[in-house]
Structure 1
Amino acid sequence: MTGEAIEYGSDYSEALFENHEAGIDWVPRWAQQTFEKVERSVYLVLSSAGQNEYVATRQMLIEVPAGTVEQVSDEMHERGALHTEAYEPLPPDRQFVSGQNAWYVPCPVCLWPMHVRGSLLACRYPQHVGQFTIIQEHDTGGAPRVRGPLPALAVHAAEAVCLHEAVWRYITVPGITEVSLMGWLAEQADIDGDAITKWPHKDRWDISVRAGNSVFEVDLKDTRSPSQIVARPPRARHVVVPDYRSWQVAQLRRSLPTGRYEVRTVRAFKTLVGKALKEAQ
C-alpha cells in the first residue's frame, strides 16, 4: 500500500494506542489479532509503570526507533526505560544489498528505516520529506551514497532491529512533534526545567508547562482527519497540531465545543508562550 493509504487506515486504529486504560472489546477480531502482541507488550507495560519510567520508556520509543540489539539495550539501560517487545528484526523491505553488506537508511525526520523499492527510498509516513535514491558504486567496502532532499546515511543492517510499525506510527510519529516542542520549551531562558511536565498522569495529555503567570496544558494531535480528534475530544484545553496540518485549525475550532478548547499550530503556540513570558517580565 502507498503511504497515503496507510495513513488513512491508521486513523481508524489509533484508538487502540491512545488510552491504555480502556478495554478493546469494541475492536474487530482481526485488529485484535494484528495488534495483540504490540498492545500487550507496550501498553500494558506503560500502564503499569511509574511516571518517571513511563516518560523514559515513551521518550525512548520516540527517539530510538532503530539500531542494533546492543545499541537498543544500552539506550534502555542509560535512560531507565522499561523493557518491551516493541522492537523486531529489520524487515526485508527496509533493507538493501550493496557490495557484500546489507544496509538500511533511517528517515531524516523520524529515524525509522525507510521503505525500499528498487533503488528508491521513502518514509512510510507521507508527511516526512520526499524520496531518496541509493547511488550504487563500485564496491569499496564502505556505505553506499544516498541522494535526497535532506542528508541521509546508510547504516549496516547486520543485527539491526526497529520498532514494530504500529508503535512507530502511534508513538514515534506524533512523538516527534511532542518532543520537539518539549525541547523548545526547555530552551526558553524564562522557563525552568521543573516547570515542564512530560505526558502528565501517564499521557492524560502531552505537556504541562508554566510560562510566566500562565499554565498551559497541551494535547498535540497529528492525525490525517480532524474528525478523529472531534470524535475523541482532548482532555487538555490547548489543542496543538503540527504546522503541516495548519489547515485543520479552522475546522477544529468550528467542531470542538466552543469555549472549551483553544486550537493552534505549533508555531502559533510558541508565539502564545513567548507572549506570556514577555508579559510576566
Structure 2
Amino acid sequence: MGINLFTNRQTKNPLNALLLLTDGQDNENHNYTQLMQTLPSGVQCHTFGYGSDHTASLLVRIAEQGNGGTFTYIDEQEAIGSAFAMALGGLFTCVAQQVHVNIEFTGAYKITHVHSNYKYEPEQLPSTNLNIKLHDLNAEEKRNLVFQLYVPKTDNNEQNVDMTSQLPMSVTQSTEEIQLFENQIIGNVTVIYMDPNTGRTITTNPVSFNLVRGSHPPDELLRVNHILDIQRNRVETAHALERAMAEDNYRQSRAILKAQVDKIKASVSAQDPFCQKLIKDLEYHYPTERDYRSSQHNTYMCHTTERGTYMPSSNTSTR
C-alpha cells in the first residue's frame, strides 16, 4: 500500500522515503523481492524492528532492496522517537541524490575486486571502467570505496616514457626529473549526482589517479597505509557480519566474528580508536541470541551503507 502511494501520487517531493516499523513477524507469505522492485528508484525504504519478535534478516533484505535503505533495531520503547528522528534528520539534510562514481583506468590497469558493498557495473571483473551507485548522501556523511587494481609490471629494458608527452627520457635528466616521469596518470574518477534543491544533475571535474614508480621508493610508500587499513577492517567486518548472520548455528556464528576480531588485532591499524570499537562490538556478549542477531544485523547495515542509525547502547563503532 505504501508503494502504491508513491506510484499513484499527483505531485512529487524532492526527498522521498518509505519508513517501515514492525514489532512482529509476517503472518502471510509474500515475495518481498518482487514487491521492492516496484519501489520508485528515487525512494529509499528504511526498516525498523522493535521488540523481540521481528525478523531482522527479512527487514535487512527489504532495506537493501529498497534502494539502499537502512535497518534499525529498536531495543526499547523509549528509543522509538530517537530512531525515527535520526532517520528523518538524515532525509532533511540530504545534499546529493542518486550519486554515481565513475572510475576509468587506461591501458592494462584494471580493477580486479571491489570490496565495498555498493552496487557496481559491470559486475564481471576485471574491468578498466567501473560505475558505483551510492544512492543519497546526507550532510557530514562520507563514502569510502575499497577496490583492488591490477598494475602491470614494467620492462626494465624499455625506455622510461612520460605518459603525457610520450617523449623518451634524456640520459642527462636529473633525478628529480626522472622521479617526475615516474609519477604517471593512469586513470581518473568523476562523480555524478542530482542536487535535491534544484533538481539539476551535476558532474564533477575529473580527478586523476597518479601512480608513482621507482627503483628505490621511500620508506613511507612501502608501509601499509593506515587509513586504507582502517577501511579494510571496516569492510571485512561488514562481510564477516553478513556471513555470521547467515549462519544458523549460534556458536559457529560467534566463531566467525571471533576470527574477524583476531584479524583486526593483527592488523596495522589495530590500535586505532575506530578499530578498537569494532573489536568491542564484535566481542560483546548479548543476553539472548535474538538480541545478538538483531543488534549485529544493525551493525552490519551501518558499516555496509556507512550511515549511522539509532543503536543500542552496547554498540560503539557506528556512533
**Length-normalised TM-score, structure 2:** 0.23
Higher Cα Rg, which structure = 2
More helix by share: 1
